[in-house]
Amino acid sequence: MKIKRRDFLKLSAAGGAAVALTKGKSLNAFAMSKRGAIKGESPGEWKASTCQGCTTWCPVEVFVQDGRAVKVRGNRYSKQNDGNCCPRGHLALQQVYDPDRIKVPMKRTNPKKGRGVDPKFVPISWDEALNTIADQMMELRNNDESEKYALMRGRYTYLRDVLYEIMTKVYGSPNNISHSSMCAEAEKFGVYYTEGQWAYRDYDLDKTKYVLIWGCDPVASNRMIPATIKRLGDAADRGSLAVVDPRYTTSAAKANEWLPVDPGSDGAVACAIAHVMLTEGLWYKPFVGDFKDGKNRFQAGHNVNETDFAEKESYGIVKWWNLVVKDMTPAKAAKLAGVDADQIKRIARGMAKAAPNVCVWMGPGCAMQARGAYNGMAVHALAGLTGGVDNEGGSMQTAKIPVNKAPKAYKEYLDDVAKKKTKYKKIDQRGYLNSPALKKGKSGGGVTTNNAATGILNKDPMEIKMIVGYMNNFVFANNGTEKWEKALESVPFIVHLTSHASEFSMYSDIILPCRINLFERIGFVKTKANGYATCSLNLNTVEPVFRALNEETEFPWLIGEKLKERGFPNLIECLRDVYPDPETGKKATNSMEFTEYALKYYTKKMWDGKEDVGGDKINGWAEMKKRGMWNSDHYEYRKHWGGHFKTETKKFEFYSETLKKALSGHAEKHNTSVDKVLEACNYTARGELAFVPHYEEPMRHGSRREYPFVFIDYKSRLNREGRSANNPWYYEFKHVDPGDVGEQDTLRLNPGDARKLGIRDGDRVRITSTGGSGYSVARLWEGVKPGTVSKSFGQGHWAYGRTAAAEFGKKERGINNNTIIPWELERLSGSNPRNGGHTLVKIEKA
């Protein structure tokens, strides 16, 4: 046995030898005198870029020493994050320097595809990879099957136009399928069909007096994380904080009120808060208006004459009252949602007292449910009732970001085939009777990402023979993973543009290495927070260790060259012609030049000084790249008051004429009624209820008898969306998610529930739903509502890397929530009901 030095010393110390050496001596002064000069940090440079670890899209800076990225911080010029990033920025260093990153193009040599089947990838040259892809594309074109090509987009920059839009269209396919509805379309639905804005909101935390956080933890995820981390404590000092969420989150810990609603029953609570405000005469009258004679006629259970009320900035308050609110008493909602009626009253009164400086912070938790669209409307209606909508200390829309749109001239490069086929229906079946996807009022206006699997499997509206996926992992990130596994197995040729060999890669035929967005990738994003809109550049602060693509621009360029060699020059000529250098007019000669010209084209109004676009004054392209970002002027409050909301009535709609028009239009398209549309979309509302915020009984898959718990999915504050799962620091610091434990895939149970099942803290447990089953580790935590269990999304990979998977390519580490959550849709918006409320599970000790 080897005795190590310290063991030897310990033995010596125990024997007193070492102690004797130092006894009675004061050595500190001596130690001090020997200290040499402190040189400090070695030279390096802070370089600007953008973190896309969540949807905040923070402008950041990377400290670069010797060409290596060593530290990350917020961009010093940012008026959103004030120079600070959240933990995700720091964590990203392990993403860019991940040993499991793909270093060369690869091809599959095992034709058999399936979960756990080894693709037998072998390295190939860039030329072989690009030739193979171009050959496949030409074969489809030559067979008049170009519509059978699909582009699947994951996280993107706004240079997406080139790969997602232009390349797909010029080639001749309708199938550019984005990931958008995996995120928050149902939430946007709620806002659009009340306020007329299809977007996330911004929140004025510096001036708010009451923050109602609903179905998210904005210091951990959602849209403005560093800005909220900085301000939530001060906001709580200044006013009140209430959290409606079945999970005890960090925000809930900080809040005066925590209202643990049953998953999916949010609409009842929101309508009851409205009920209290209306019956007690507490609504914000300068926004909503008042009874003509000033006498409050809102009495529980009683109808009100519309003519007695004069509305100001809103529309339909009395209709909503008569249809829904009059009967949704706090007692009724308390019963439906499993909460305390007094708490509903306290929250309503508290908000009213602070009105109009109220932030109604709606998160995806309430809306991204199988019947969540009306929940989203109900929660956002409270922003109207308190006058906090588009107002100081409340929720805000966005200042304009003066970026250019895709050059229209690209359309001239569509040949007859492309012109015809781009008009075909899309593979996600958007606009079908049961997939209205009513983005911005239009039937089939938005994507229904999860339904693309249905389209592929049913070959409806067409067969898919080739997929190019980029920065996506649809087979892991969509609920109902088994359906996606089968869908991808059926596609003969798949290309994955990716940094890591993820589950999607395991079904692919060619893999091309791509860049990591915070450090290497080139592009730009548009974002808003803290009252400021921002354009932030993604820049190559360091060069990739091995060649890796800026896939949004370089891939179309390189394929365009290869297609030209094969007799189809339209794509490369289009790209070369429509994106000349905006300063010199010079046309690009290679993929990196093209990338730079495209970036300059989109952002030029902010740096070329030709027109006054407001906000930061930036002198030229070099300065823009150095700063990396542009801030707008502060948002102008109440910009949409006075009849400027983009709804049908131009008012904030409690009765949505906008939704009425959209649903009626969709019904007419299918020669049917709105009631039939709602039936096809799994909603219970009929008649006029379809046009107002209301409570719908939550959909649950399975019987309570067999599956007694509602499963809740949440997002870890260390999730760089899905991309940090191979980083050891992710597992090391998982305990920063309240209730979670490091190094394990944690299933949180209420201790009372666990006791009944004989489950103890740390036990391995099996989770089973109607959709799937898997193993994780039980954590008994009082912050879990009895009758629910919760687990953070992110773990359960069987590929992606050797840290993420228990055995790469074969065995998962923990269990993917999307295997437990059965395949489902929120059909009105096209969303993934990703928060899991439709999922019932049983838990067994393994």
Partner 1 sequence: MTQYAMVIDLHKCMGCGACALACKSENNTAMRRNGQTHNWADYQHDMSGTFPKLRYTARPVLCNHCSNAPCVEACPVEPKAMFKTKEGITMHNDERCIGCQACQDACPYSRMECKIGETSVISYNEEGEPYETFYADKTAAIAGGTMSGAELAAKTDNPPHRTKYNHPDYQDVRRDGITEKCIFCEHRVKKGELPYCVVSCPAKARIFGDINDPKSEVSALLKKHKPSVLKPHEGTKPNVYYIREYSVKK
Please list every residue from 544 through 573 that binds partner 1, using CB under 8 A.
545-546
Binding status of residue 24 toward partner 1 by CB under 8 A? no
The number of residues that bind partner 1 (CB under 8 A) is: 109
Cβ neighbours of residue 114 closer than 8 Å, sequence gap 6 or more: 485, 489
Please list every residue from 232 through 291 that binds partner 1, using CB under 8 A.
232-234, 236-237, 241, 248, 250, 253-258, 260
Binding status of residue 801 toward partner 1 by CB under 8 A? yes
Binding status of residue 35 toward partner 1 by CB under 8 A? yes
Binding status of residue 54 toward partner 1 by CB under 8 A? no
Binding status of residue 63 toward partner 1 by CB under 8 A? yes
In the block, tokens 């170009």 appear at: 146
Burial class (CB in 10 A: 0-12, 13-18, 19+), 359: buried
Binding status of residue 13 toward partner 1 by CB under 8 A? yes
Among residues 647, 181, 643, 688, the alpha carbon closest in space to that of 440 is found at 647
CB contact at 8 A, 724 and 794? yes
Please state the φ and ψ torsions of residue 658, each to the nearest 5 degrees. Answer: -65, -45
Please list every residue from 462 through 501 that binds partner 1, using CB under 8 A.
501
Residue closer to partner 1 by CB (options 91, 377) is 91
Q: Which stretch binds partner 1 (CB under 8 A): 522-530, 625-633, 737-745, 816-824?
A: 737-745
Binding status of residue 117 toward partner 1 by CB under 8 A? no
Binding status of residue 51 toward partner 1 by CB under 8 A? no
Residue closer to partner 1 by CB (options 11, 310) is 11
Paired strand residues for 649:
none
Binding status of residue 219 toward partner 1 by CB under 8 A? yes
Binding status of residue 93 toward partner 1 by CB under 8 A? yes
Binding status of residue 440 toward partner 1 by CB under 8 A? no
Paired strand residues for 243:
213, 258
Binding status of residue 25 toward partner 1 by CB under 8 A? yes
Binding status of residue 320 toward partner 1 by CB under 8 A? no
Helix (H, G, I), strand (E, B) or coil at 59: strand
Residue closer to partner 1 by CB (options 73, 644) is 73
Residue closer to partner 1 by CB (options 84, 664) is 84
Residue closer to partner 1 by CB (options 234, 412) is 234
Instruction: Work out the number of other CB atoms within 10 angstroms of the CB of residue 186.
Output: 32
Please list every residue from 65 through 84 that binds partner 1, using CB under 8 A.
65-66, 68-74, 81, 84
CB contact at 8 A, 352 and 273? no
Binding status of residue 741 toward partner 1 by CB under 8 A? yes
Q: Which of 148, 201, 230, 430 binds partner 1 (CB under 8 A)?
A: 230
Q: Which stretch binds partner 1 (CB under 8 A): 131-139, 309-317, 731-739, 828-836?
A: 731-739
Binding status of residue 86 toward partner 1 by CB under 8 A? yes
Binding status of residue 220 toward partner 1 by CB under 8 A? yes
Per-residue tokens: 708: 């007694």
DSSP 141: H
Please list every residue from 490 through 549 that binds partner 1, using CB under 8 A.
501, 511, 545-546
Taking the complex as a whole, how short is the minimal distance between the CB of residue 303 and partner 1, in angstroms? 36
Residue closer to partner 1 by CB (options 160, 223) is 223
Binding status of residue 3 toward partner 1 by CB under 8 A? no
Binding status of residue 1 toward partner 1 by CB under 8 A? no
Binding status of residue 808 toward partner 1 by CB under 8 A? yes
Burial 106-126 (b: 16+ CB within 10 A, else e): bbbeeeebebeeebebeebee
215: left (phi over 0), alpha (psi -120 to 50) or beta: left
Residue closer to partner 1 by CB (options 89, 393) is 89
The one-letter code for the residue type at 351 is: M
Paired strand residues for 135:
none
Q: Which stretch binds partner 1 (CB under 8 A): 15-23, 166-174, 374-382, 680-688?
A: 15-23
Q: Which of 106, 278, 351, 396 binds partner 1 (CB under 8 A)?
A: 106
Helix (H, G, I), strand (E, B) or coil at 105: coil
Residue ranges of the alpha helices (H) in 309-440? 317-323, 330-337, 341-354, 364-367, 373-385, 416-421
Of all helices (H) and strands (E), which one includes residue 468? strand 466-470
> What torsion, rounded to 10 degrees, do the Cα atoms 671, 674, 679, 685 define?
-170
Please list every residue from 743 through 782 that binds partner 1, using CB under 8 A.
743-744, 750, 752, 781-782
CB contact at 8 A, 185 and 199? no
The one-letter code for the residue type at 489 is: E
Q: Which stretch binds partner 1 (CB under 8 A): 100-108, 359-367, 530-538, 666-674?
A: 100-108
Taking the complex as a whole, how short is the minimal distance between the CB of residue 729 and partner 1, in angstroms? 6
Q: How far from each other are the two terminal CA atoms of the chain, in whole angstroms?
A: 39
Paired strand residues for 527:
534
Binding status of residue 417 toward partner 1 by CB under 8 A? no
Binding status of residue 213 toward partner 1 by CB under 8 A? no
CA distance linking residue 190 with residue 185, whole number of Å: 9
**Which regions of 489-587 does DSSP assign to beta strands (E)?**
493-498, 510-513, 523-529, 532-538
Residue closer to partner 1 by CB (options 93, 759) is 93
CA distance linking residue 466 with residue 493, whole number of Å: 5
Taking the complex as a whole, how short is the minimal distance between the CB of residue 6 and partner 1, in angstroms? 4
CA distance linking residue 501 with residue 449, whole number of Å: 21
Binding status of residue 589 toward partner 1 by CB under 8 A? no
Taking the complex as a whole, how short is the minimal distance between the CB of residue 655 and partner 1, in angstroms? 34
